[in-house]
Amino acid sequence: MEQIAALRAEWFAQLAEAIDGAQHLAWQLGTRESTSAEARELYGRLEAARQELDSLRGLQIGGLAIDPDWLQKLGFQPGPELNP
């Protein structure tokens, strides 16, 4: 079970890194094309993906905290960064 949690945590970290890179690129495109609507939309979609990832990790989203114990009852095992 710990191996699965470690793999999930690694996958979440890789996904967060990919989202960061894509957001950085979208930001650069938006500033180069004098407020490109497509770049702003892409950035917004990437931010929504980040929020979804954070909710899966059990982090705070918009001031609300998702209880990791609740996620565990549903079968989700948090990565090491969420275990006290």
DSSP string, 3-68: HHHHHHHHHHHHHHHHHHHHHHHHHHHHHHTTS-HHHHHHHHHHHHHHHHHHHHHT--BTTB---H
pLDDT digits (tens, 9 = 90+) for 51-72: 899 888 775 545 555 556 655 6
More confident call, 13 vs 74: 13
Decide if pLDDT at 83 tops 50. Answer: no
DSSP state of 74: T
pLDDT at 40: 81
The whole-number average pLDDT for the span 7-24 is: 90
Tell me the percentage of the chain whose pLDDT exceeds 90: 17
pTM confidence score: 0.61
> Is-contact 26 43, C-beta < 8 A?
yes
Which is more confident, 48 or 77? 48
